[in-house]
Amino acid sequence: MSESQSAPKRVTLREIARMKRDGEKLVVVTAYDVLFARVVDASGVDIVLVGDSLGNVVAGLDSTLPVKLDHMIYHGAAVRRGVRRAFLVVDMPFLSYQASIERAILNAGRIMQETSADAVKLEGGSREAVDTVSALIRTGIPVMAHLGFTPQSVRALGMRVQGRERGDADRLTEEAIALEDAGAFAIVLELLPADVAKQITAAVSIPTIGIGAGPHCDGQVLVLPDLLGLNDGFEPKFLKKYANLAGDARAAVEKYADEVRSGAYPDASHSN
């Protein structure tokens, strides 16, 4: 069997825990479809997240609130077909886990059964969220947690850096510890001051994954179309664009249009 056919060694929960212990940074990126899933998996990232940010970057919505469980399952299953090596996490969307623990178990169970994800992610550090994490872990479903700016609460929080009020750092640290005690295997820290993320990262033995939370987290996550420069006009301070795919794609489609109009494409070499 050639190397390309043989299954690559998969990233596991044990490996993720080891990376935190050994001080190795975790690389996390989102994906929403099979083609980009193949690309990011082949690039050697550690974790692929099917984020409910698909509401923004796939559907063009102004928040993640309208994203439904069926949307996450559809995209999660597509991404699964492209991910062979990385650890695959699928977001639980708004209202799929907040109403009751029983619904959270059934909905997380559907994600695991219908996408073959390795884990789910849910937002928040309230007592209810911690109890839900604990119940999912007891059911055998690994959970990634998410603190700081939690996009499903955007109407209540506003889209702004969290953790700046007196007492916030200690409250968030306590929440992170409670989520670790409940069994979460990692915590996303979104839009937090760097010193707050540093305090949380030092307080827990599971990895913290930052986005807009400075350099002291154990890993980083970015939304794929943002890092590829495909999401024109989205320019938050924390974002670094590693490509200009919007510009490149526009140029390619313009060239295609020119060639169709001029008759240069298709030519004899593209005809049967």
> Quick one: which of 84, 110, 91, 108 has its CA closest to 30?
91
CB of 252 to ligand KIV, least distance (A): 26
Among candidate residues 178, 176, 199, the one with its CA nearest the CA of residue 188: 176
Cα 252 from Cα 62, distance rounded (Å): 28
CA 144/CA 258 separation, integer angstroms: 47
Query: Judged by CB, which is closer to ligand KIV: 25, or 265?
Result: 25
**Contact call for residue 53 and ligand KIV (CB under 6 A):** yes
223 in contact with ligand KIV (CB under 6 A): yes
As a whole number of angstroms, the distance between CA 114 and CA 72 comes to: 10
Per-residue tokens: 215: 């350099």
Size of the site for ligand KIV (CB under 6 A): 10
* Whole-number Cα distances in Å, 99 to 105, 107, 127, 137, 226: 11, 11, 13, 18, 32
Which one of 48-56, 98-106, 154-162, 164-172 is the stretch in contact with ligand KIV (CB under 6 A)? 48-56
Is 141 an interacting residue with respect to ligand KIV (CB under 6 A)? no
Task: Please identify which residue in 186, 196, 204, 221 interacts with ligand KIV, judged by CB under 6 A.
Answer: 221
Q: Three-state DSSP class for 178?
A: helix
Using rule CB under 6 A, residue 118 touches ligand KIV: no
From residue 175 to residue 194, what is the string marking binding to ligand KIV with x (rule CB under 6 A)?
-------------x------
* Residue 92 · residue 104 · CB < 8 Å: yes
| Site for ligand KIV contains 226 (CB under 6 A) | no
Nearest distance from residue 52's CB to ligand KIV, in Å?
Answer: 5
Of all residues in this chain, which one has the CB nearest to ligand KIV in the complex? 51
Asked if 176 contacts 155 with a C-beta cutoff of 8 angstroms, the reply is no
Name the minimum Å distance from CB 28 to ligand KIV. 8
The verdict on 218 binding ligand KIV (CB under 6 A) reads no
Q: Which is nearer to ligand KIV, 79 or 268 (CB)?
A: 79
CB of 209 to ligand KIV, least distance (A): 7
**How far apart are the two ends of the chain, measured CA to CA in Å?**
34
Computed on alpha carbons and rounded to an integer, the radius of gyration of the chain in Å comes to 20
Cβ atoms of 157 and 150 closer than 8 Å: yes
Indicate whether 30 belongs to the interface with ligand KIV (CB under 6 A).
yes
Residue 190 designated active-site: yes
Among 24, 165, 190, 254, the one annotated catalytic: 190
Parallel, antiparallel or unpaired: strands 219-222 and 208-211: parallel
Looking at the Cβ atoms of 178 and 209, the one nearer to ligand KIV is 209
Q: How far is the CB of 121 from ligand KIV (least distance, A)?
A: 7
* Residues identified as active-site: 190
Which stretches of the chain bind ligand KIV, using CB under 6 A? 30, 49, 51-53, 91, 188, 211, 221, 223
